Each structure stands twice: as structure tokens, then as C-alpha cells.
């Protein structure tokens, strides 16, 4: 028996009332988080004046224990609540770490920063820049360029303060263009940002997947979504300069048989409809970006750090192995080793190495001196705070 019209109206009105109450509670949550962040700023200022440590692991665990207990008393899933508060704590530590870095490099009072990147508004690099700097500066001015090289040159020529460049992806691997930029330009790595990438297929109208005849995206995005794309038939896959530029072109051409692979943010910016999401071959698809500047930074010893090198070994058997043995002797963990052809030197290679630790630690200093003595070419690309792996789990 069908429901009467009057009953339907009552249910609809009641549902609308529930949704309004939820909206009010959500707004209160946002304002509460904003108030908490204000207190975090005050805590940081107090820690700086008192030279206290940024992260207190004992305090964090005590807080999480209390959160679990309160959740159970309130009838809320304690696991969900703990994960939520882990995110909140992570964000608090992240803010304080960045603030400490700015304080020690005399940038705490700098409120504007210009960032060059490859792509256009809505690109993943643009999102990573806003994620990295948005909370630290009142005004983040992002300037897009066609190539990584142009974005780097903008920093060298003081057109921008820093550049943000993707360097590796958990699905597609290393991004060689960025390694080449680091080799050819006098820039220093001063930070990193890890962004979770959710590739979406978008069109100008909500259409069926089998009606798509052409898909545009950046080659890296195409590579990361290769399994999804392989299942499509009668559809051409074409590389484009940038994911967001591809989305913009789809919007401009207004052809419902064309689609772009880009972020949900790009779809929102260009008023496109998402017809499929989570397209990457791996469910956990992350891109690591490096932030480069004209000058190096001082990185506080209490912050988990990375030291990145660029070396070329002498043309002798076992030369690279001899350099790597130095790390083992001094107990230093290597997290990345990448090789690229050395321009102008046929059959010679540059090796890019990421190490856990601060270059100013005693064991790291000794290791770097020994490697420099063994290498034909040696350069410290940067020592900078390492992005925590907590958000990658």
C-alpha cells in the first residue's frame, strides 16, 4: 500500500528538520576546531619562549586514552573517535613544526609567499602548495608555469619565493623531470609535502561511461590510472600538459563525449560532473612534492629530518657501493636512491639519495665528509623537515 501524500509531507519536513540540526552541529564543530587552533598557536608561542619540545608523545597517548574512554561513555565508536583525534593531533604538531621552522629562519612575521608550480589553478601541485603554505601565510600567491624548468627558473630569478615540484608517486614511481631540474639549477630543498591523489573522470554533463570517446590528462595521471583506462573500448587516451588544464579544456570545448582525469577540486573549479572516481591502480595513491628555494634553511634538531644528496661516483668498479657502505658504518638509513644520466657526460650517472637525519648531527657530518671524499661530484640538495608517515597508513 502506497504512502499517503500527507504522510510523505510530514516525513519530508521531519527529515529537513534533522538535516538542519546536523548542519548546526557541523558548524559548531568547525568553530570548535578553529578555537582549538587558536589555543595551539598560543601553546606554540609559549613553547618558543620556554624552549620546550614541540611533540610530547606521553601527553599524546594520555590524551588518546582519555578520548577512547569518553567515547565509550558517550556511546560513540572509540576507534572512530581515536582516529579523528589522531588527525587533529597530527595537524597540531604539523602547524607547530612549520612555525618552529619559520621562527628559526626569521620568517615567522612574513605573511605573504609566492609559489611557482607546473600547471594551472586546480592542479595537484597547486593543491599541494595551498596545503603546505595555506595555514602559515595570510596570502599564498600561486603562479602556474608550463614546465617544471620554468617554475624552477622563476625561483632562481626571484620572480617567486619558492617552487613546489612533484618528485615521486606511489603508483607511477619517480618523476624524472624534477630530478633533472635539481641537477641543472642552483636550488635547495627546504621542505616536502605528501598529497593523497584521487583521480576522477569528469565531463561537461552527467553521461554514461561508454559514451566517452576521448580522455585527456597529464601523462603521470594516465600512467597511474592505466588499469581503469585499459578496460575502456573505443576511447582515445591523450596526454595533456596538466590535469587541471585538461579539465579546463573539456569545459571550454563543451563536448559530452570528451572527458578529463583530474582532481575533484578541478571539477569544482570548472563546473564539471564527476562520473567516476578513485581511478588509480593503487587505492593508496600519494604524490610527494619537494619545495625548493634559492637559499637553504636551518632545520631544528628536534624535528624529524631528511637530508638529500646528489652525487656522481668515480668511474671505478664498486664505487657506488663504497659510498653506500659509509651509511651503514654510521648507522644512517637511506630512504631513496635514484639514478639519472649526467648531462654532457655519456655513460655517467648522477645519484640522488635521501637520508633519514639532520646534516648537522655528528654521525651524519662524518658520513657526508667520507662520501664527498669518495665521490667525483657531491652536493647537499637540502636538509628539511620530513613529512610524517602517519597520514599514509
Assigned C-alpha cell, 199: 583521480
Q: Do 311 and 350 meet the contact criterion of CB atoms below 8 Å apart?
A: yes
Report d(CA 342, CA 212) in Å as an integer: 42
Which stretches of the chain are DSSP H helices? Answer: 5-50, 57-74, 78-104, 124-133, 148-156, 176-184, 219-224, 226-230, 243-253, 264-269, 319-329, 362-374
In terms of Cβ atoms closer than 10 Å to its own Cβ (0-12, 13-18, 19+), residue 287 is: buried
Residue (of 177, 155, 171, 157) closest to 293 by Cα position: 155
Which positions are catalytic?
A: 287, 289
Q: Which residues contact 232 (CB under 8 A, 6 or more apart)?
A: 209, 212, 215
Find the helix or strand (DSSP H, E) in which 259 lies.
strand 258-262
Q: Which residues contact 77 (CB under 8 A, 6 or more apart)?
A: 71
Amino acid at each position: 500500500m502506497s504512502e499517503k501524500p500527507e504522510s510523505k509531507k510530514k516525513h519530508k519536513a521531519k527529515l529537513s528538520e534533522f538535516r538542519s540540526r546536523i548542519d548546526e552541529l557541523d558548524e559548531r564543530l568547525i568553530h570548535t576546531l578553529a578555537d582549538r587552533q587558536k589555543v595551539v598557536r598560543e601553546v606554540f608561542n609559549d613553547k618558543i619562549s620556554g624552549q620546550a619540545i614541540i611533540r610530547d608523545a606521553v601527553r599524546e597517548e594520555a590524551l588518546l586514552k582519555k578520548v577512547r574512554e569518553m567515547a565509550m561513555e558517550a556511546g560513540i565508536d572509540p576507534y572512530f573517535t581515536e582516529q579523528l583525534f589522531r588527525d587533529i593531533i597530527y595537524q597540531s604538531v604539523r602547524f607547530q613544526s612549520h612555525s618552529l621552522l619559520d621562527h628559526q629562519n626569521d620568517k615567522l612575521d612574513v605573511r605573504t609567499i609566492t609559489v611557482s608550480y607546473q600547471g594551472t589553478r586546480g592542479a595537484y601541485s597547486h593543491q599541494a602548495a595551498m596545503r603546505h603554505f595555506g595555514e602559515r601565510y595570510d596570502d599564498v600567491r600561486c603562479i602556474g608555469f608550463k614546465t617544471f624548468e620554468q617554475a624552477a627558473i622563476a625561483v632562481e630569478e626571484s620572480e617567486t619565493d619558492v617552487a613546489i615540484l612533484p618528485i615521486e608517486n606511489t603508483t607511477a614511481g619517480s618523476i624524472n623531470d624534477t630530478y633533472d631540474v635539481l641537477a641543472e639549477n642552483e636550488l635547495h630543498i627546504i621542505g616536502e609535502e605528501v598529497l593523497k591523489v584521487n583521480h576522477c573522470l569528469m565531463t561537461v554533463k552527467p553521461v554514461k561511461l561508454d559514451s566517452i570517446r576521448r580522455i585527456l590528462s597529464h601523462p603521470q595521471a594516465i600512467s597511474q590510472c592505466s588499469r581503469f583506462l585499459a578496460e575502456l573500448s573505443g576511447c582515445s587516451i591523450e596526454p595533456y600538459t596538466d590535469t587541471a588544464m585538461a579539465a579546463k579544456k573539456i569545459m571550454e570545448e563543451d563536448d559530452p563525449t570528451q572527458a578529463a582525469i583530474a582532481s575533484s577540486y578541478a571539477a569544482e573549479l570548472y563546473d564539471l560532473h564527476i562520473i567516476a572516481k578513485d581511478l588509480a591502480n593503487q587505492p593508496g595513491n600519494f604524490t610527494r612534492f619537494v619545495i625548493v628555494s634559492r637559499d637553504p634553511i636551518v632545520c631544528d634538531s628536534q624535528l624529524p629530518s631528511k637530508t638529500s644528496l646528489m652525487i656522481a661516483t668515480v668511474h671505478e668498479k664498486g664505487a657506488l657501493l663504497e659510498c653506500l657502505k659509509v651509511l651503514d658504518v654510521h648507522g644512517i638509513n637511506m630512504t631513496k636512491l635514484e639514478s639519472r644520466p649526467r648531462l654532457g657526460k655519456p655513460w655517467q650517472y648522477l645519484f640522488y639519495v635521501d637520508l633519514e637525519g639532520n646534516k648537522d648531527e655528528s654521525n651524519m657530518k662524518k658520513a657526508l665528509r667520507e662520501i664527498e671524499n669518495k665521490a667525483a661530484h657531491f652536493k647537499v640538495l637540502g636538509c628539511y623537515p620530513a613529512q610524517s608517515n602517519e597520514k599514509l597508513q
